[in-house]
Structure 1
Amino acid sequence: MVTISVIIPVYNADKFLERCIKSLLSQTLASCEFIFVNDGSTDSSQSILEQFQQKDVRIKLIHQENKGVSEARNTGLKIAQGTYIGFVDADDYVEYNFFDTLYQTAEKHHLDITVCNYFSSQDGTAFTSKAPFKEHAVYESNTIKKDILPYFISHETINSIWNKLYRTSLIKDNAIIFPKGVPLGEDGWFNSLCFAKADKVYFLSYAGYHYIDVSGSATRNIVGKNYFQRIEQEYENDYSHLQNAYLDASNISVLKAHKYITKVVSLLHEYYNPVNAIEIETRKLLVKELLTSKTTIKIFKDYYKTVFLQKSKYERVVLFAIKHKLSVLISLVIAYSNLRNKR
């Protein structure tokens, strides 16, 4: 009997793959299957996977043409045999008791989704990421709809799938899959569907997943991936399926605007982040695109006051500068913020 099916999409991850595989094979919960979906890798990922597959029968290996991470995960979902499903990214790794801890918690409280904290590393800085919800408490259906679903629309800090354990029947009985062709936020979309159908969710204080934010990855390639256009496209997502007694169309519109504004402010910080090494002229064009976007102008016109009042003094200055297209003020405020954070 397979207790947990762990799905790992792989695309050109040979630099990190061996560490990931070894962390999975050393799990204290032995009754796992590890479904590696090689999504058209052109490096040595395939040979590494085949070598480990010969050593451990728990490794299931699927090769497919490059279709993207969402379709790779959907491929894994089709053959998953476990009572629960977990996800791991090929450049990350987990503690030896990671899946055992989540499984024991899920069984104890009869959970549909178990959530834990995780270790994160970015630009040489390590920290522990936590969800903004009470730990060691069972959230049932009404509370999930009232408190957690709105958070998926307005924020992205709990979007990750790899720090969660899902009951397989929750996913398969509701025919939940990862969206195809979504440019950004596919994990959040998948989670919103799962949480909308879940009866019991639990947040653990335990952290056992190591997320490595790799420079040049899809999430960090600000210029090459046309990140701002992806934010605009994500804003067009239709969340009407999440409407419930606590969440109507008007609420959803405000929450979407809140996320958009938060993300464009964050993106501006990335534009001026020295680590990203964006050329001055390129940065000017990127900032101009953001400030003159029809989506930005409309959202700031309709929701500026609503969002503005919820922000700190620093954030209000940035929002004011965006609203009035003051690119010089934006650069000065962000530079001041970066200087303070270095002290």
Structure 2
Amino acid sequence: MAQEIKISVIMPVYNVEQFVGKAIESIQNQTLKEFEFLIVDDGTPDQSGKICDEYAQKDPRIQVFHKENGGAPSARNLAIDRARGKYMYFMDSDDWAEPTMLEDMYRLAEEHHAQLVVAGFYIETYYNDTEYVTTELSCPDRVFQTQREFRENAYQLFDKNLLYTPWNKLFLSQYLLDNGLRFPQTWMDDFPFNLMVIREVEKVVVTSKKYYHFMRARAESETARYRDDLYPKREEEHSWMLDLYGHWQVSNEPSMEMVSRRYIERVIGCLENVTNVNCTLDRKGRRAAIREIIRNPRVSEALKTARPRSAYMKLMLLPVRWKNVTLCYYEGKVISWVKTKNVKMFAKLKAGR
């Protein structure tokens, strides 16, 4: 019966045959049993869909939908339209969750009549097949009593990367449905979806407990990747953040500092992207791209407000402050080298920035 389903767990699946079994079993092993598990095979070319079907045959709580490839947003949205649970939880198919996650988050949501529960999580960055470095992210337990209180303190959650992803959250289904909230069909759809969720949210609970294990495996493919649209995407994201805080009418110093620091850190990432070994631009084109980035007036404005928290981030920002294209170019090359040759060091530096 629909009223017996406490949580609808939603998971898109694509090219994860090595990992999807562990993801499914981590949900099956939850201490909360009253869930439905909606798995969407997004036209995967490997055996992932078949594996999911095999689990569904043995567990009536699992439903598998097969569709043509359309991306994770379309897969999640298909499941949202079919979900019957009071709450929704979004899982990635190559990660796994601790067994008490759903029960603990459900209890908090019910106790505080929350529209959104936010938990901590683990990032496990693999630098070979068996070794990895773990980063733990969380904020102290807190129940935000008012919408204003949440808005004025959201910078703390942004700083701990807790407001970017869907898989460390439990969402009240009625809140999503009443506001027509769906995942936008875009690259990195998680972030704009979460911004839409928190834009008008009123009842938010944060738990310091960590449950979700985000597997930053496949490090070689991640670190070698070049995206020709990364800089425009980062500019778009910064506009979203400015729009959000403008809508919230929040301009306190900690919030504005966070927005500026977040932007300027991602500018450094854009410099690395331009100098990536797989960048399709020639040397002249790379220098022109760097010049465009560091001479953007937004960069100068952000540098006035941002307060980098590590010595090496302060050091990396010097060439940007000086608007020195050559130094920025070689800085990007160094970052790219560390990112590809020493994933462990890169993960630690990124976590401590």
TM-score normalised over the length of structure 1? 0.81
Residues 1:145 and 2:151 are matched in the alignment: yes
Looking at structure 2, the residues matched to 32 and 208 of structure 1 have their Cα atoms a distance apart, in angstroms, of 17
How do 1:256-335 residues align onto structure 2 when only pairs under 5 Å count?
Answer: 257-266=260-269, 268=271, 278=277, 288=287, 290-294=289-293, 297-307=296-306, 309-310=307-308, 312-322=310-320, 323-325=323-325, 326-327=327-328, 330=331
**Corresponding residue for 1:57?**
60
2:182 aligned with 1:177: yes
Q: How many residues align?
A: 333
Distance 1:291 1:332, change over 3 A: closer
Question: 1:37–1:333: structure 2 CA closer, same or farther, 3 Å change rule?
Answer: closer
In the alignment, structure 1 residue 30 sits paired with structure 2 residue 33: yes
- Structure 1 residues 231, 155: CA separation in 2 closer, same or farther (over 3 Å shift)? farther
SS of the residue corresponding to residue 40 of structure 2 reads strand
Distance 1:301 1:168 in 2: 42
Residue type at the aligned position of 1:16: F
Partner of 1:213: 216
1:290-341 per-residue CA deviation (whole Å, 9 max, x = no partner) reads 522357533224433233x555443233222132221366269858998897
Cα distance in 2 for residues equivalent to 1:286 and 1:222: 18
Q: Secondary structure at the match of 1:49?
A: helix
The answer to whether the aligner puts 1:163 opposite 2:161 as a matched pair is no
SS of the residue aligned with 1:38? Answer: strand
Decide whether aligned partners of structure 1 residues 313 and 295 sit closer, same or farther in structure 2, where only a CA change above 3 A counts: closer
- Contact 2:273/2:279 (<8 A) preserved: no
Residue 149 to residue 190, structure 1, CA distance change in 2 (3 Å) = farther
* Structure 2 unaligned spans of 5+: none
What is the deviation of 1:220?
Answer: 4.9
**Residues 121-175 of structure 1: CA distance to partner in whole angstroms, max 9, x if unpaired?**
01343334324x43243353111222217965x8855311101111111111111
Q: Report the Cα offset of residue 260 of structure 1.
A: 2.8
Give the secondary structure class of the aligned counterpart of 1:293: helix
Shift of the 310–239 alpha-carbon distance from structure 1 to 2, 3 Å rule, reads closer
User: Is the CA contact (8 Å cut-off) linking 1:149 and 1:192 kept in structure 2?
Assistant: no
Further displaced range: 283-292 or 45-54: 283-292
Distance of 2:285 and 2:212 partners within structure 1:
34
Q: Distance in 2 between matches of 1:281 and 1:329?
A: 17
Distance (Å, rounded) in 2 between the aligned partners of 1:242 and 1:331: 31
Measured after TM superposition, the shift of residue 198 of structure 1 is 2.0
Superposed CA RMSD: 3.7
Instruction: Go from structure 1 to structure 2 and tell me whether the alpha carbon gap of 1:296 and 1:15 turns closer, same or farther (over 3 Å shift).
Output: farther
Alpha carbons 1:95, 1:209 under 8 Å: kept: yes
Q: Distance in 2 between matches of 1:316 and 1:32?
A: 47
Distance 1:225 1:3, change over 3 A: farther
AA in 1 matched with 2:132: T
**More off after superposition, 56-65 vs 186-195:** 186-195
Deviates more, 1:143-152 or 1:58-67: 143-152
SS of residue matched to 1:21: helix
Normalising by structure 2, we get a TM-score of: 0.79
Task: Give the drift of 1:59.
Answer: 0.7
Partner of residue 20, structure 1: 23
Change (3 A) 1:100 1:270: farther
The CA deviation string for residues 8-49 of structure 1, in whole angstroms up to 9 with x for no partner, is 010111010111111111211111000001111000011111
C-alpha separation in 1, matches of 2:278 and 2:241: 35
Counterparts in 2 of 1:92 and 1:245: CA distance versus 1, 3 Å: closer
Partner of 1:86: 89
State how far apart, in whole Å, the 2-side matches of 1:218 and 1:211 are: 16
Moved more, 325-334 or 113-122: 325-334
Aligned to 2:136: 129
- Mapped to 1, the partners of 2:208 and 2:156 lie a distance apart of 22
Q: CA deviation at 1:214?
A: 2.4
Q: How far, CA to CA, are the matches of 1:217 and 1:87 in structure 2? A: 26
Contact 1:149–1:242, Cα closer than 8 Å, also in 2: no
Counterpart Cα distance in 1 of 2:38 and 2:32: 16
How far 1:204 moved relative to its partner?
1.0
User: Matched residues in 1 for 2:136 and 2:145: separation?
Assistant: 20
SS in 1 for 2:296: helix
- 1:218-237, aligned counterparts within 5 Å? 220=223, 222-223=225-226, 227-237=230-240
Q: Are the structure 2 counterparts of residues 223 and 190 from structure 1 closer, same or farther at C-alpha, using a change threshold of 3 Å?
A: same
- Could you tell me whether the CA contact under 8 Å between 1:149 and 1:195 is conserved in 2? no
